[in-house]
A and B are shown apart, each in its own frame.
Chain A
Amino acid sequence: MATRPMRIRAQNKDGVTEVRVLMSHIMETGLRKDADGNVIPAHFIKEVVATWNDKEVLSAQWGPAVSRDPFLSFKFKGGEAGDEVKVTWIDDTGATRTDTTKIR
């Protein structure tokens, strides 16, 4: 199944790069029931890793209470316009997605 791309913006200002990511994922808690009363199974991003020129700048473990279509924002020192920032997510089924952007 194809996963939808993340939208990533990385902006450097005064020596600090701010990264804002919008991911596409249902983040199902496993607590909801469908119309027939069956539990909809949990399905959520468990791990997130972000790198800047291959140096890790953030990692995270998430539970299902992160909102659907997760938003994430973080900052790191350094970063020049044109440098690559990569964000990877891995969900509970082992599905994974990596998207890349260049710092502005």
Chain B
Amino acid sequence: MNHQRRSVLKLGTALGLAVSAGFLTPMQAWAVQQQWNEKAFGATDVDSVVASLGGEGAVESDQITLIAPDIAENGAVVPVGVNSALPNTTEIAILVPDNPSTLTALFKIPEGSLPEVATRIKMGQTSDVYGLVKADGKYYMVHKEVKVTLGGCGG
């Protein structure tokens, strides 16, 4: 086989592997980094998180159901669910103020989706866990204390 054909085949294989390995192009990766709310994820208290999401404080609401254990057996895997009965809920977030970074996860609820999400989070120590909801452009929240016996941030 001549050398040119060999190099073309080699390059093609490498590019094919890169695409199939699922790496974004540098442009796409940059776009994701820009969208990710660095300020919100860097905040260390509830009010700062709400402010960096564009809110003016969050009002307590009994229309939000926070599903979380009273005592977490394992701080590395704490199941948390947030269900909102507030009309026009567009965002749901989980906040843990006593974690190194207060904002754990932020969900956008498009039209047609239910304002109910569940996931599992790490908690470094006993802390209040907040279910934060954006509905009709305003922020609402509910919280409960989750006791942690074995911290989940590791190290």
Contact = CB atoms under 8 A, between A and B. Distances in A.
Partners in one complex: yes
B44 interface: no
Interface residues on B, range: 35 or more
Contact of A57 (B112, B116, B123): B112
B107 A58 contact: yes
Contact of A61 (B35, B79, B112, B118): B35
Contacts of A67: 76-78, 119-122, 152
A65 B104 contact: yes
B122 A29 contact: yes
Given A3-B22, A70-B120, A78-B112, A61 B153 contact: no
Contacts of B29: 90, 93-94
Contacts of A73: 81, 117-119
Contacts of A72: 117-119
Contacts of A58: 107-110, 113, 117
B76 A61 contact: no
Main secondary structure of the interface of A (DSSP, over half): strand
A68 B74 CA distance: 13
A93 B117 CA distance: 26
A61 B36 contact: yes
Interface of B: 21-24, 26, 28-29, 32-33, 35-37, 40-41, 76-79, 81, 96, 99-101, 103-110, 112-114, 116-123, 152-155
Interface of A: 1-3, 16, 27, 29, 31-33, 46-47, 55-68, 70-78, 90, 92-98
16 contacts: A29-B100, A31-B153, A56-B110, A57-B112, A58-B107, A58-B108, A58-B117, A59-B108, A63-B105, A65-B121, A73-B119, A77-B114, A78-B112, A94-B28, A94-B29, A97-B22
The 9 closest A-B pairs by CB, nearest first: A94-B29, A75-B114, A76-B113, A67-B120, A32-B155, A32-B154, A73-B118, A65-B104, A94-B24
